[in-house]
Structure 1
Amino acid sequence: MTVDAYALAGRIRRRLLRPARPAPAGPLVRLAAAVTVAAMLVYAVSKVYMALRGEVGMPGSPAPTSVQARFAHPAAAQAANALLGAAAGAAAWATVSRRGARLPRWTVLCAAVPACAMAALGAAVTLVGPQSGLGRSGWGVVIDAVWGGVQVAAWLVLVVSYAVRTGRRPAGGSARPTGWAAAAAWGAFACALAYGAMKFAWALGSSFLMRQTPLPRAALDELLEGSSGAVTGHWVSVAPAVVGMAAALHLSDRFGPHGRFRRGLLLVGSWTVCVFMLARAVGVLGYGFAGDLRVLYDPAGVPAEFADLASYQARWDLALWAPYWMLSGVCWGVAAFCYRRRAPGAPARDRSAPLIRSRSVISESSQDAAA
């Protein structure tokens, strides 16, 4: 019994300390790592500068006096933020470096995933929190939005790429897609699930994120009042979300293989959803990145009676809704692209398996000839 316990402990220790040894990173991933490390270094240096000044905030935009009064030791708080920024930069560097490949996979992910979440939260707070005194207008908000979006995108590329490059492919081939195909399919599933859950909650009477929805004043008032037409629309919107979840599972070959008709229908639907969501995210339909930046950069172009509402909705759309549509559209597009590249009607399998079998056949034939 004691020997079994020691053997189990040794097995757990080896599994926990096993190096990740990820596959080599591509140019895009290395560029994302460079952007992330540079951003974290700038953040850490900025926090050190503010710690020396004994103030809370960032250089050029310190927090208001009411916020400063909440911190008894602002220098210590800023120094801690600087250490967190340096640690996040080290985690980003570890995803692409040779020395980082010696670290266990779970340690790097446990550092990189929270750093990605904090970067997204920081970008959202900067955009939707003008009441904190840190919000700016004109070119300032445009720079904040672009730089925050670049950082979040770089973190997402790093985290997803590292998870894909360190994933273990089952021996003998996999019956389901792996790597970017699996990540995109499950990302599309998660986006559809989040949308359907929100609409379902609204249909039951919840108002979560309802005030932040970018709609005209009349439509927003009808939504907040819970009119019968709005509630009916919520229930109707749940159905496409359920269909989207099922389609995402089919893209992951969870219910494959598919016939030619189902395969064509799945691809047409996926590409349609991809184009629609990307158009919404860019600004061709609704607010989008272009419309949000236009409203925030030039508020004078909005009627005075709707200026406050338009600015409020633009900040929330830029921080939440437009990135959601962009992420969902990219996931659907990548999942459809990878699904199309696979053989029609056949699940994705490891291409190295036939090569191994062919080499074994050649070796057996050479041995027979020698005999």
Structure 2
Amino acid sequence: MTNAIEYDRYDRIRPIRWTGAALELLDQRKLPFTVEYLSCASSDEVASAIHALAVRGAPAIGIAAAWGAVLAARAIEAGDGAEAAAKLEPALQRLNTARPTAVNLAWALARMRRALTGAGADWRDALEREARAIETEDLAANRRMGEMGASLIASGSGVLTHCNTGSLATAGFGTALGVIRAGVAQGRIGKVFADETRPWMQGSRLTVWELQQDGIDATLIADAAASHLMKSGQVDWVVVGADRICANGDTANKIGTYQLAISAHHHGKKFMVVAPSSTVDMDTPSGDQIEIEERDPSELLGVSGSRTVADGIQAWNPVFDVTPAELIDAIVTEKGIVEHPNPERMRAVFGAA
């Protein structure tokens, strides 16, 4: 096993910084040309940053929301945890609605609510300890997932990834990109390809930049080139993250993931989903019950604020799609690997709803 010190070579970016006075978020809208942290001094500023995609990636959204709850606590007075919970609820609801598809957001806020249960006059300290725990646990889980996911990949394999699932989307190391980092460190991965991931270009703006910071060579492709790449024989695995994994293994992820799974299946390639167990929602039976977030159609009508589409043209802009479980070869979480997921195999690892 490659040691943690060696992995540190491939894990240099931290998108979330708690200063004690504010939450600093690496503004991913400005990457790769400007590295700038956005300072949030209130929970509503955190909610705005999440909604505006200054911070993105399901685990990072959950961590940011947890610290947002800590900031919300500074705006109220309460004698104990029960009183604080009631007064904090409006702020927590505003955080919760910032990005409805990412289950980590609701999961992190539920943990913050539980931290207040039974808390006395030190309820603020209890909230801060819980936010720190959520962040610390995420980094440890990512390292473990990286090890497990990489163990499935044969030496010399080519890998294609979609969107951004690295340090920028988590507390550090990443989910799908963590598997790629571990696979590169172990000498298992010979070539990395990354989709542009339109319309926000998380692949071209974030993923290839992030890999470049760690000295990992990556080749950028247009989203529409993925099937042709698979046909060429240069890819053995598609490795992606997730925003919600259902009880049957259906997985919601960045728009474009579903078509990658279809193409991988057609070309005999393997498809891996990598996400912390907090992304698993055993209360949602299948992907049919997932609310798919739709964003402003104007995001499709221009580039960097300059319109590229004729006036009067309409656009449809869903942010996520759902990949059916039957197209997934492995779901990797810190709790274990579920190969060829179905309800029984999911319950064996994550328990009943």
TM range (shorter): under 0.3
Structure with bigger strand share is 2
* TM-score normalised by structure 2 residue count: 0.21
Structure with bigger helix share is 1
* TM-score normalised by structure 1 residue count: 0.21
